[in-house]
Amino acid sequence: MLDLPRNRPSWVLKSIAVLLFAFPLASQSMTLTRAGSRLLIDNKPIRLVGYGCYGMVSESSFESETFFDRLAESRINLVRVWVLFHWTNDLTPFEGSRASRYDLLKQNDAFYSRLKNFVGMAEERGIVVQVCLFDGVALTGDNSTNRWPNFPYNTVNNFQDYLTSPGQFNDVPSEWWSEVTGPLIDRVVDELGNFGNVIYEAVNEPDTHGLDTTSPQFDRDVVDRLYDLLHRPDYHGSKIISVNPEAALLREWAMSYGKVDLVSYHIKSTEAPQGISDFGKPVLISNDGDTSQRTEAFGGLDPASRLARIQSMLDSTFPNEDVDGT
């Protein structure tokens, strides 16, 4: 999933390949499954071409219906969103606000209703939604970045005292896990349990931001809980689980762990990414965090340079057009 500059030509939109298979548009009735290294919709191989924006669900003013209509017109069939966006000034999974403080023990029905409606709108248009539950990046930064100091989980921003430092985030078992983290996972699955177009992503960039640097503990705990929820007898939605390893330790675990269906791979170089062909699972390619994702105003590149860099990244990642169809 590659983030592109606006006003981009349609050929660029159609060239952002993230999965290496055929490209049928999905039907309104969708069943997302995996067979080996192939991701399937209604038992047909699918290549997902996507757009990611962290806060689409978190901002109630965002016009989701218009957004999805434009994606469908451009044959974009994947979006990636975060459950908890650390810069939001609007909706979060918890009641309250940064100004008045959050209550981590009270779930925000308005947020979950919006999440459910968002995924439903996507399904109606044949679009897959990758729902990222947690974020390693939010556990870093100072006041200039508006990350951890403004994150709802930081005890200075809520009425509870679970987390006084980012290093406590992956404490499992703990009251934090049983009273906040676990119930959040449960609620997301409960709300989206009837949809077949969901990819459940455990954590964004965990191992480059202090999580799971010496073992896959937190990712495994999230994946295990997701897996159990998605395989209940009364659950009828998508069962696809993805992880986002940045370093070798977590990547090797993701490749071998049977409960992980898909690996998200963030590339930040025009050189060919290493090891993708060895995963044996579907791979989701993204330029999240690369300079091609940002405009000049945010330390990135001008539009022409961004497009050129993205094209170079694609050429390096998918060198054989006859095989992977890019």
- Angle in degrees, 0-180, between the axes of helices 217-230 and 182-192, rounded to the nearest 10: 40
pLDDT, tens digit, for every residue of 261-276? 999 988 888 887 766 7
Q: What is the pLDDT of residue 184?
A: 98
Q: What is the mean pLDDT of residues 58-86?
A: 92
pLDDT, tens digit, for every residue of 281-296? 999 888 888 888 888 8
Residue 71 structure tokens: 């994606």
Strand bridging mode 44-45 / 50-52: unpaired
Instruction: Evaluate if residue 247 carries a pLDDT over 90.
Output: no
Strand bridging mode 38-41 / 44-45: antiparallel
Taking the whole predicted model, whether its pTM rises above 0.75 is answered as: yes
Residue 5 falls inside a structural domain: no
Nearest CA to 214 out of 246, 244, 243, 250 is that of 250
Q: What is the pLDDT of residue 270?
A: 83
Q: Is cis: bond before 273, omega within 30 of 0?
A: no
Q: What is the mean pLDDT of residues 111-123?
A: 96
Instruction: Evaluate if residue 27 carries a pLDDT over 80.
Output: no
- Residue pair 250/243 in contact (Cβ under 8 Å)? The answer is yes
Q: What is the pLDDT of residue 143?
A: 60
- Residue pair 212/221 in contact (Cβ under 8 Å)? The answer is no
- At 140, the pLDDT band (50, 70, 90 cuts) reads confident
More confident residue, 25 or 46: 46
Residue 196 falls inside a structural domain: yes
Q: What is the pLDDT of residue 60?
A: 85
Q: How far apart are the first and last CA of the chain?
A: 14
Q: What is the mean pLDDT of residues 238-257?
A: 92
Q: What is the mean pLDDT of residues 11-31?
A: 44
- At 144, the pLDDT band (50, 70, 90 cuts) reads low
Question: What is the number of H-type helices and E-type strands within the chain?
Answer: 9, 12
Residue 254 falls inside a structural domain: yes
- CA 189, 72, 42 angle in degrees (round to 5)? 55
| Positions of E strands within 139-261 | 198-204, 240-243
| Positions of E strands within 207-268 | 240-243, 262-266
Residue 3 falls inside a structural domain: no
Instruction: Evaluate if residue 322 carries a pLDDT over 70.
Output: no
Number of domains in the chain: 1
Q: Which residues contact 227 (CB under 8 A, 6 or more apart)?
A: 241, 259
CATH number at residue 77: 3.20.20
SS3 183: helix
Residue 2 falls inside a structural domain: no
Tokens 């016009």, located at residue = 63
Q: What is the pLDDT of residue 320?
A: 64
- At 11, the pLDDT band (50, 70, 90 cuts) reads very low
Residue 271 falls inside a structural domain: yes
SS3 312: helix
Q: What is the pLDDT of residue 142?
A: 64
pLDDT, tens digit, for every residue of 91-113? 999 999 888 999 999 999 999 99
Looking at every residue in the chain, the average pLDDT score rounds to: 84
Instruction: Evaluate if residue 19 carries a pLDDT over 50.
Output: no
Q: What is the mean pLDDT of residues 249-269?
A: 91
281: containing domain = 10-324
Q: What is the mean pLDDT of residues 48-69?
A: 90
Most confident of 8-12, 77-81, 133-137, 285-289: 77-81
Q: What is the pLDDT of residue 148?
A: 84
Residue 1 falls inside a structural domain: no
pLDDT, tens digit, for every residue of 193-217? 999 999 999 999 888 777 887 889 9
CA–CA gap between residue 16 and residue 289 (Å, rounded): 16
Instruction: Evaluate if residue 12 carries a pLDDT over 50.
Output: no
Instruction: Evaluate if residue 158 carries a pLDDT over 60.
Output: yes
Lowest-pLDDT range of 3-17, 169-183, 257-271: 3-17
H or E segment at 107? strand 101-107
Instruction: Evaluate if residue 117 carries a pLDDT over 90.
Output: yes
Q: Radius of gyration (Cα) for the chain, nearest Å?
A: 19
- Residue pair 238/198 in contact (Cβ under 8 Å)? The answer is yes
pLDDT cut 70: percent of the chain above it: 85
Strand-pairing partners, residue 284, are 264
Residue 4 falls inside a structural domain: no
